[in-house]
């Protein structure tokens, strides 16, 4: 029993350290020896827990895609909300997530490109599903007349991109600064930077 528990734990530890290193240096610049050293074992010992270096990225990407799509589904399924409420909630989630879980943000937005080619296809399908949800909400907003016209894809990419600096910043934000940054970003994007 203890043995099994330890093994699951070790695997989680490997995934966590790998994700941290992928954020700091990127997948290609992180060697299996780096990951092993971060966990405190020899490189060859990693292979009792994972199949390959790429397998780590596959596991991380799958977990992210599932989680992100799940959050969007949940927001969209909550009754009694306008489209623009939903759009704000989706963006809020991305901002909070980038501050609190920067490693998953980097995997989902940058490092997936290093997936083995057979796996990229599958990931792109998952991401398409996620993007379709975004665009469905944006379409709703346009139809309801609550946001200005524009190609949904362009609006989506601009919104998603606009928070992509957060997970890469080295600056430490206090909770108060995070809240303040979030308000600034949301008001820029929804109410506009220009005063009227």
Nearest to 167 by CA among 61, 14, 26, 65: 26
Q: Does residue 157 bind a copy of itself (CB under 8 A)?
A: yes
Q: Does residue 52 bind DNA (CB under 7 A)?
A: yes
Taking only Cα atoms into account, the Rg of the chain, rounded to an integer number of angstroms, comes to: 19
Burial class (CB in 10 A: 0-12, 13-18, 19+), 194: exposed
Minimum CB separation of residue 57 from a copy of itself in Å reads 13
Q: Does residue 84 bind a copy of itself (CB under 8 A)?
A: yes
Q: And the tokens for 73?
A: 């589904």
Residues 121-150 vs a copy of itself: string with x where CB under 8 A? ------------------------xxxx-x
The span of 51-59, 86-94, 118-126, 142-150 binding DNA (CB under 7 A) equals: 51-59
Q: Does residue 169 bind a copy of itself (CB under 8 A)?
A: yes
Q: What is the DSSP letter of 164?
A: T
Nearest to 65 by CA among 100, 115, 30, 99: 115
Q: By CB under 8 A, name the one of 44, 128, 143, 190 that touches a copy of itself.
A: 190
Of residues 15-34, which lie at the interface with DNA (CB under 7 A)? Answer: 30-33
Q: By CB under 7 A, name the one of 20, 26, 38, 43 that touches DNA.
A: 43
Which residue has 């346009």 as its token pair?
A: 142
Q: Give the torsion through C-alpha atoms of 72, 78, 82, 87, to 10 deg.
A: -20
Q: Which residues bind a copy of itself (CB under 8 A)?
A: 26, 28-29, 84, 87, 113-114, 145-148, 150-151, 154-155, 157-166, 169, 180-181, 184-185, 187-195
């Amino acid at each position: 029993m203890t043995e099994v528990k330890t093994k699951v734990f070790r695997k989680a530890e490997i995934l966590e350290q790998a994700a941290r290193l992928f954020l700091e240096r990127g997948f290609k610049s992180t060697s299996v020896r780096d990951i092993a050293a971060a966990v405190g074992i020899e490189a060859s010992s990693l292979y009792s827990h994972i199949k390959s270096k790429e397998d780590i990225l596959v596991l991380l990407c799958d977990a992210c895609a599932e989680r992100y799509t799940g959050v969007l589904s949940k927001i969209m399924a909550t009754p009694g909300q306008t489209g623009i409420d939903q759009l704000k909630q989706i963006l809020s989630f991305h901002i909070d997530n980038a501050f609190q879980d920067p490693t998953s943000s980097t995997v989902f937005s940058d490092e997936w490109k290093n997936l083995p080619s057979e796996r990229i296809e599958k990931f792109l399908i998952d991401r398409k599903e996620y993007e379709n949800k975004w665009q469905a909400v944006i379409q709703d907003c346009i139809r309801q007349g609550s946001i200005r016209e524009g190609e949904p894809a362009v609006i989506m990419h601009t919104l998603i991109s606009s928070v992509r600096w957060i997970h890469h910043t080295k600056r430490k934000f206090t909770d108060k600064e995070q809240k303040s940054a979030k308000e600034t970003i949301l008001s820029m994007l929804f109410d506009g930077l220009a005063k009227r």
